[in-house]
C-alpha cells in the first residue's frame, strides 16, 4: 500500500451527492491505518471559512467571486493541505480549483485565461520548487442537472449558487467536462444518476485500481 501523501478532490454540481462518499472514503482509509484530513472549499481554515460565508451569501461580481475563492484556497493550501501532505496523510477535499473553472468560469462566464493565471499563482508551492500543487485524483460525480434539481428541491434554504437556474448548472457541468478533457489522467468520472450503493462501488473501485485501497475482503 502506498504511504506517500495523497491529495484527492471531489467535484460535481450541487445535489450530485458527494458528501456521503467522501465520508465513506475517509472511513475506508482510516480502517487501513491511514491518517485522513477531511476538508472543503471554499473553507477549511478560520480565514477561508469567513470568506466562504461572504462568497456564498453576499452579492458580488464574478471577479470578486473568483478572487475570494482563490484567496481562500491560498490560505487553505498553506495552513492545511500542504502540512497534511508533508505528514503523508490522505487529504480528502470537497471541491477545489476545478469548481472555480466550472462555476466562475463556465457558469458565470468569467475569463478562463485569468483563472488559469490565478491557478498558477495560488498553487505554486515553495516546498515543491514552485511547481503547481494539483490533486493526485479528482473524483467527478457527474449528474444530469435536471436530476440534481429534483434532488435539491425543497431540501434547504438555497445559497447564491444553489438558487441558480438549471441552465447555469448545464454550463457548470459542461465546464467540468472541459477540465476533464484537458487533464484526463487526473480525473475519474463517476456517473451518479444511479443508486447510491452503485456510485459507492464505482468510487471504491477507482481507488482499489490505483492501489490506494485494499480490495474489499482481501487482506
Dist CA 130 CA 138 (whole Å): 21
Footprint of ligand TYD on residues 162-201 (CB under 6 A)?
162
All three cell numbers of 126, joined, read: 515553495
Which of 99, 139, 148, 173 forms a contact with ligand TYD (CB under 6 A)?
99
Dist CA 65 CA 67 (whole Å): 6
Which of 37, 45, 100, 123 forms a contact with ligand TYD (CB under 6 A)?
100
Dist CA 66 CA 78 (whole Å): 18
What is the DSSP code (8-state) at residue 162? T
Which of 110, 140, 141, 161 forms a contact with ligand TYD (CB under 6 A)?
161
Nearer to ligand TYD, 156 or 181 (CB): 156
Nearer to ligand TYD, 5 or 43 (CB): 43
Which of 36, 51, 69, 92 forms a contact with ligand TYD (CB under 6 A)?
69
103 binds ligand TYD (CB under 6 A): yes
Which of 82, 94, 119, 142 forms a contact with ligand TYD (CB under 6 A)?
94
Other beta carbons within 10 angstroms of residue 173's beta carbon come to 21
What is the DSSP code (8-state) at residue 154? T
Task: List, in sequence order, every residue forming a beta bridge with 11; answer none if it has no partner.
Answer: 140
CB 129 → ligand TYD: shortest distance, Å?
26
Footprint of ligand TYD on residues 3-22 (CB under 6 A)?
14
CB 101 → ligand TYD: shortest distance, Å?
8
Residue 38: exposure state from Cβ atoms within 10 A (0-12, 13-18, ≥19):
middle
Dist CA 63 CA 6 (whole Å): 31
Dist CA 102 CA 179 (whole Å): 8
Print the binding letters for residues 29-68 with ligand TYD: x by CB under 6 A, - otherwise.
Answer: -----------xxx--------------------------
Residue ranges binding ligand TYD (CB under 6 A) = 14, 40-42, 69, 94-95, 99-100, 103-104, 159, 161-162
Amino acid at each position: 500500500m502506498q504511504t506517500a501523501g495523497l491529495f484527492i478532490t471531489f467535484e460535481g454540481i450541487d445535489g450530485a451527492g458527494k458528501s456521503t462518499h467522501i465520508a465513506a472514503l475517509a472511513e475506508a482509509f482510516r480502517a487501513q491505518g491511514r491518517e485522513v484530513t477531511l476538508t472543503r472549499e471554499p473553507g477549511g481554515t478560520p480565514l477561508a471559512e469567513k470568506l466562504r460565508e461572504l462568497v456564498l451569501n453576499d452579492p458580488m461580481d464574478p471577479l470578486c467571486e473568483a478572487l475570494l475563492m482563490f484567496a481562500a484556497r491560498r490560505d487553505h493550501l498553506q495552513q492545511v493541505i500542504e502540512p497534511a501532505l508533508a505528514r503523508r496523510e490522505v487529504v480528502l477535499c470537497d471541491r477545489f480549483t476545478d469548481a472555480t473553472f466550472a462555476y466562475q468560469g463556465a457558469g458565470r462566464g468569467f475569463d478562463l485565461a485569468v483563472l488559469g493565471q490565478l491557478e498558477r499563482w495560488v498553487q505554486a508551492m515553495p516546498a515543491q520548487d514552485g511547481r503547481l500543487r494539483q490533486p493526485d485524483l479528482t473524483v467527478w460525480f457527474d449528474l444530469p442537472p435536471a436530476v440534481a434539481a429534483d434532488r435539491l428541491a425543497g431540501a434547504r434554504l438555497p445559497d447564491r449558487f444553489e438558487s441558480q437556474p438549471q441552465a447555469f448548472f448545464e454550463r457548470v457541468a459542461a465546464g467540468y467536462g472541459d477540465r476533464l478533457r484537458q487533464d484526463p489522467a487526473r480525473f475519474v468520472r463517476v456517473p451518479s444518476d444511479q443508486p447510491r450503493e452503485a456510485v459507492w462501488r464505482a468510487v471504491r473501485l477507482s481507488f482499489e485500481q490505483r492501489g490506494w485501497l485494499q480490495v474489499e475482503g482481501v487482506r
